[in-house]
Amino acid sequence: MIDLDTIAAHGLTPDEYERVKEILDREPNLLELGIFSVMWSEHCSYKSSRVHLRTLPTEGTRVLQGPGENAGALDIGDGLAAVFKIESHNHPSFIEPYQGAATGVGGIIRDIFTMGARPVALLNSLRFGPMEAPLTQRLVEGVVAGIAGYGNSIGIPTVGGEVGFDESYAGNPLVNVFCLGIVSADGIVKGRAEGAGNAVYYVGAKTGRDGIHGATMASAEFDDASAEKRPNVQVGDPFMEKLLLEACLEVMRSDALIGLQDMGAAGLTCSSCEMGARGGVGIDIDVAAVPQREDGMTPYEIMLSESQERMLFIVRQGREDEVERVFEKWDLHAIRIGCVTDDGLLRVRNNGVTVAEIPNKPLADEAPLYDRPYEAPADSEERQQLVMPRQVPSTSVAEQFLRLIASPAIASKRWVYRQYDHMVRTNTIAPAGAGAGVIRVKGTSRALAFSLDGNGRYCYLDPYKGAMLAVAEAARNVACVGALPIGTTNCLNFGNPERPEIMWQFARAVAGIGEACRALNIPITGGNVSLYNETDGKAILPTPVIGVVGLVDQLEHILGQRFNEPEAVVILLGSSIPSLGGSEYLKCLHGLVRGAPPELDLLAERAVQSLVVSLSASEKLLSAHDCSDGGLAVALAECAFSADGIGCDVVVPESENGIPTALFGETSSQVVVSVRKDNVQDVRGAATAAGVACQVLGQTGGRHLRFRVDGNIAIDVSVDEAMNVWESGMSKYLGNNAA
């Protein structure tokens, strides 16, 4: 008889335990309880989120694989598909920053190559507490080192991403990792088991005790005892993963393989029962055959271990020797541990003795489903009321500008991306630090662009609008390099869903994502939900991170964001009223997170993006950069921050709310472009035809940033001075190993 304390320690409620007994028609043993525990955890089952996720748009003409597999896939032409996904490794990265981040990278890479795709690019989205806090500095250094250590070693470039800072992430950092791979459109491999009698193979590294109950840990809040959960964090080996990747891709080139699954969250348990459930078959395995790194491991430990660099294969009868030879060549384990059955059961044996027997479908597809109550926080309307403080904590607008670009949220992330090998494999086109990563598709004239974006402040103030703005910005970043946005993925980071106000944030954010994706015609191919991001009852800002993938038909049409010619005309495309609500200016200079986020007209957003892509294809633009954090002034400065350091002299559109709003107010649906003088009329004509506002601001040239408002010079600083401030804003807090 299993007692209540044991049930609670496994993260199951009494009602869920009663359902387990109904499914089995008996009491479970401890191993079976552990199996149900991990499969019914929030991390694996999405039991609090599925009700809302089902409302998202997941179909489109390019969608080859939507949600439900290891990753999504889009048709990119030339008989090829882009396979991509984003995952979180938040909790492990707080407990053990290096290994938590490293194994997050390893896990998302395996999700991609299990689909038959060769991984070609990585991105990451990171959130930490205030940069001046010693804990934050330790976490940043550990996480970045972990990402670099794994990605660089395996030889997959990290080509972009984003880093944010806020007090809410101090005890719960976010480490979201995106990976994209390329495969032939007819070569996509599924994670399913078929054919009774076909062999089940364990391939890759040995199983250890690291990571046991990692999925359960990721489905609970943090507290003062979280450091004791260090054994729940897996240990990664990128060199082993490189061998595993090559061996798997080689086997996939034959028809010996029926299906495969990464042993990620919940390890051997999840891979076996999910493959069985997808194929409507049973899986019979003997854990005594599993290669083990440690002595005396129990079936419970073997089934729940989340050791890295392991896969489960379903091999066609009669082809076993062929598969074994491939893995022998790569010096990897390929051990037959069982077979496919026709009874729909996950049967676990230990030296032939049955130690667990559970139907697959209730484990994988019929976990508890909760439509949790949700309610707006009592102060939700108050949060959007903004009364600006009378005192501005600086003596001039220019000083405000310099303080803003020095804030870690806006400052250069060079310290971070210099640790990543973003040029390995020689496919990277856009330099690190640009608005979107760009990778050429070898053998074609095409390129893929991708961007990650999220804004926790906006979502805290208005989760519906904030989530829409995140989708719009990620797509706009992709459009600004000349790529047509074609699909998206997401990683939804929120607090405890059992709290109605948190569930309200989640439900509203998902609704906003769905609305924006439908309007911009970028279907969602999959993603990840990370809940219970809280420490001692304090939740993170609601942070949905959106990844958008775009397609460039011709490599020569790719745009950069920086000014590259003097005496070019600077034009602002799009019309949007700037707002200080939820802005970086308000947070940085006044310490406030208040007001309404910028308004968003999705039709206008789509028109601006389409116009930029069209103008890029017709080679009418020299550069393009979206307006986001820090407003128009920051966007213009970022256009100047390069080795050439070309400045600009511009007139900033006036705002009835004053100079700070005109310069630093944030907007949607606006892009700063530079254009040769002889192309200005063509750009204006194209904008008029598209119904997009087009305003000449000034021109590039010189070594100064000169911004005029209301007929007066509001900011006049040298590019060199501003760039020095910008480059040191984050790095001054950190070590010099990547300076």
Pairing between β-strand 345-350 and β-strand 333-341 as defined by DSSP bridges: unpaired
Question: Of 176, 173, 262, 265, nearest to 219 (Cα)?
Answer: 265
DSSP state of 579: B
Q: Identify the pLDDT of residue 211.
A: 67
Average pLDDT of the segment spanning 279-308: 94
Question: Of 130, 118, 231, 120, nearest to 173 (Cα)?
Answer: 130
Task: Supply the angle between the helices 267-279 and 30-39 in degrees, to the nearest 10.
Answer: 70
Task: Say what the pTM is.
Answer: 0.94
- What is the Cβ-side half-sphere exposure of residue 85, based on CA atoms within 13 angstroms? 30
Q: Annotated catalytic, 557?
A: no
State the catalytic residue, choosing from 10, 43, 91, 213. Answer: 43
Question: Of 549, 526, 551, nearest to 108 (Cα)?
Answer: 526
Q: Identify the pLDDT of residue 215.
A: 47
**Each residue of 530-567: b (16+ CB within 10 Å) or e?**
bbbbbbeeebbbbbbbbbbbbbbeeeebbbbbbbbeee
Average pLDDT of the segment spanning 337-343: 97
Q: Are 248 and 116 in contact (CB under 8 A)?
A: no
The pair of structure tokens assigned to 274 is 């999910």
Q: Annotated catalytic, 590?
A: no
Quickly state the pLDDT bin for 221 (edges 50, 70, 90): low
At which residue do the structure tokens 């775009």 appear? 550
Phi, psi of 732 (to 5 degrees): -65, -20
More confident: 228 or 306: 306
| pLDDT tens per residue across span 487-520 | 999 999 999 999 999 999 999 999 999 999 999 9
Quickly state the pLDDT bin for 644 (edges 50, 70, 90): confident
Q: Identify the pLDDT of residue 605.
A: 97
Q: Are 547 and 489 in contact (CB under 8 A)?
A: yes
Dihedral, 414, 428, 636, 670 alpha carbons, nearest 10: -130
Q: How many CB atoms lie within 10 A of CB 155?
A: 13
H-only helix segments in 433-522: 456-461, 463-479, 500-520
Quickly state the pLDDT bin for 693 (edges 50, 70, 90): very high
Ordered DSSP codes for 316-385: -TT-HHHHHHHHHHTT-EEEEEEEEESS-EEEEEETTEEEEEEEHHHHHT------------TTHHHHT-
State the catalytic residue, choosing from 10, 52, 89, 333. Answer: 89
With a cut of 50, say whether residue 739 has pLDDT above it: no
450: three-class secondary structure by DSSP = strand
Phi, psi of 113 (to 5 degrees): -80, -15
Q: Identify the pLDDT of residue 411.
A: 96
